Structure 1
Amino acid sequence: MENFFLTILWPIRWLVELVLVAWHWLFSALGMDPAGGLTWVLSIVGLVIVVRAALIPVFVRQIKNQRKMLEVAPQIKKIQDKYKGKRDQLSREAMSREMMEFYKETGTNPLASCIPLLIQMPIFFSLFSVLNNAQHDKVGVGPLNAALSKSFGHASLFDVAPLHMSFQDALNEHNAAVMIVAAVMVALMVASQFYTQLQIMSKNISDETKNSPQFRQQRMLMYFLPFIFLFSGFAFPLGVMFYWLTTNIWTMVQQFLVIRAMPTPGSEAARRREERLARKREAQLAAGKIVLAEPAVEGGEPVVKRVSTQRVQPKSNKRGKKRR
């Protein structure tokens, strides 16, 4: 079963090795120690940048799908209320069929929010496999040749924390340095994961959704999911933990920018954005950069017109004089 799983991951492992080796070559060419742990850590960070940059279109589609799901939520609730209390097989099948048809008509997908995570999981397992092979001096499946594999497997951060070791390995070998580094990284992973979820739950959820039972369930998960990292993180090699921590930081920053620029309608973030835009408009009015014109429709909002700050060039009368 393990060999079958590794065979499926073979193309992804090859690409992971290619990106790692490419970044390692770049940092080595810039004068960093090719066998240094910091060089390999920065290569892992580069891998995250490549992966997450490639996932930006998927993330944008995810945001659009979430917006659609919010828009169609009242219609979905009507379908659910229609079959409320009916537990027979025919009613449940009819409700599922009606829901699927509705999702198809509106172009929504309730599972779209899981797609970025599902895409990253094979990369995560591939990196784990690459590190595990390097730990045992096994040659990679692609660009990670014998020399690079040995360098990666024996690289240590600041010469005290081997990247292939986990907290459990360090505990067995009584390596205090690795245990300290691993414990700090697990704490940072848990904190970044929790803060990312907190941003969504506290700022980017509409008031209507906050009163629903689903929101209370998601809030419970917000406190529960980080504890998975708290326990499972101690089994990850340091190299994998650097990948996961960098991914969490990317997600946290990306989520902050999205919530600030495209908040959910009716949420606290949306109200704060409206306040920022109002303050900006008042400042522009005071500076004379914009003016308010009469509304196009009686009783409507005033129309904002931007004042041109471009200097008007004086026209020359030479051509007119020549024609005379």
Structure 2
Amino acid sequence: MPDIFGTILWPIKWLVEAILVAFHTVLSGIGLDPDDGLTWVLSIVGLVLVVRACLIPIFVRQIKSQRRMLEVAPQIKKIQDKYKGKKDQFSREAMSRETMELYKRTGTNPLSSCLPLLIQMPIFFSLFSVLHNAQTGLNGIGLLNPELSKSFGEAELFGAPLHLAISTADGNVLVIVIAVTMVILMTGSQFITQLQIMSKNQSPEMKASPTFKQQRILLYILPLVFAFSGFTFPLGVMFYWLTTNIWTMVQQFLVIRNMPTPGSEAALAREIRMARKNQARGITVTEINSVGESVEVEKKVPTQRVQPVNKNRAKKQTGNKK
């Protein structure tokens, strides 16, 4: 039976290998040891940065889609309240019809926010497959030739082979120490990412929804996932995951700061920052205080300074007027 999944991922894996080998070639060209684990780890980091940078437009589109869904949320709730408690087929069809008409009228689509995630999944599996195959001695399908695959599979970082995990370390203390350290960093970065979303970028309506409660549960379950992955995943794959987590944490911080959810704590903080910036420029603004109240703040616009005129020039100007 043909490997349909492998066939679908083949072009993505080929591109992933090309980027990985390109970074390895550049790093080797500037003097790093081609067979050293640090060279391969930096190649993995470069691979993740390129992939995540290419996904930025999709991420921005996802944010815009979520904003539009947030805007129509009150209208959707009105439709749901209208048919609340009605279980007959006619009411269900009417509610579905009105909801779809609302989506069509406002240009929103509840599935569009899931599209970026669906696009990223094949890339993730391709990255994992390429890194795992290379570390287990399997040849690549493109530029990752047998020589490079062997180099990757035998590479060591500070004496810790990149293809080993805690479960296969066989008492290798360096592997265990590096893996545990990375698990802590992965857990911490993921926890901070989720915490800043929940504490700063949620409107009061979102905090009252069942989804918010599910997010709170995931906030404490995800560390267990990373603990399990840190026990079974090779070090090379964990470097990929850690780099991805750090990118996500920084990206989410910038998004929350500059594109916060309307009505959230982050949105209020941004309004305060913009108000203070306007005041510094000498513009009359309406400032939002710490409790969310509007406060009129009058600021005089600085007038242009009158340049002094010497006596001779003053007489000349007077003469001209005459």
Range into which the TM-score falls when normalised by the shorter chain: 0.7 to 0.9
Cα distance in structure 2, aligned partners of 1:114 and 1:266: 23
Alignment partner of 1:106 is 2:103:
no
Residue segments in structure 1 that go unaligned for 5+ positions in a row: 286-290, 294-299, 310-324
Cα distance in structure 1, aligned partners of 2:56 and 2:300: 33
Moved more, 211-220 or 23-32: 211-220
Partners of 1:124 and 1:240 within 8 A in 2: no
2:202 equivalent in structure 1: 205
What do the CA deviations read for 1:53-72 (whole angstroms, capped 9, x no partner)?
11111011111111111110
How far did residue 147 of structure 1 move?
Answer: 0.7
Matches within 5 A, 1:158-237: 158=158, 160-170=159-169, 173-237=170-234
Cα distance in structure 1, aligned partners of 2:235 and 2:2: 22
How far did residue 302 of structure 1 move?
Answer: 8.1
The alignment's TM-score, normalised by the length of structure 1, stands at: 0.82
Aligned residues: 295
Q: Output the aligned Cα RMSD.
A: 2.6
Moved more, 230-239 or 53-62: 230-239
1:28 equivalent in structure 2: 28
Residue segments in structure 2 that go unaligned for 5+ positions in a row: 286-295, 306-322
How far did residue 270 of structure 1 move?
Answer: 1.1
Alignment partner of 1:118 is 2:118:
yes
Q: Which amino acid aligns with 2:123?
A: I
How far did residue 301 of structure 1 move?
Answer: 9.9
Partners of 2:284 and 2:297 within 8 A in 1: no
Cα distance in structure 2, aligned partners of 1:301 and 1:166: 60
1:147–1:82 Cα change, 3 Å: same
Alignment partner of 1:262 is 2:259:
yes
Alignment partner of 1:284 is 2:281:
yes
The alignment's TM-score, normalised by the length of structure 2, stands at: 0.83
Alignment partner of 1:244 is 2:241:
yes
Alignment partner of 1:82 is 2:106:
no
Q: Which amino acid aligns with 1:115?
A: L
How far did residue 192 of structure 1 move?
Answer: 1.0
How far did residue 98 of structure 1 move?
Answer: 3.5
How far did residue 248 of structure 1 move?
Answer: 0.9
1:6 equivalent in structure 2: 6
1:58 equivalent in structure 2: 58
1:2–1:101 Cα change, 3 Å: farther
How far did residue 271 of structure 1 move?
Answer: 1.2
Cα distance in structure 1, aligned partners of 2:303 and 2:113: 42
1:238–1:219 Cα change, 3 Å: same
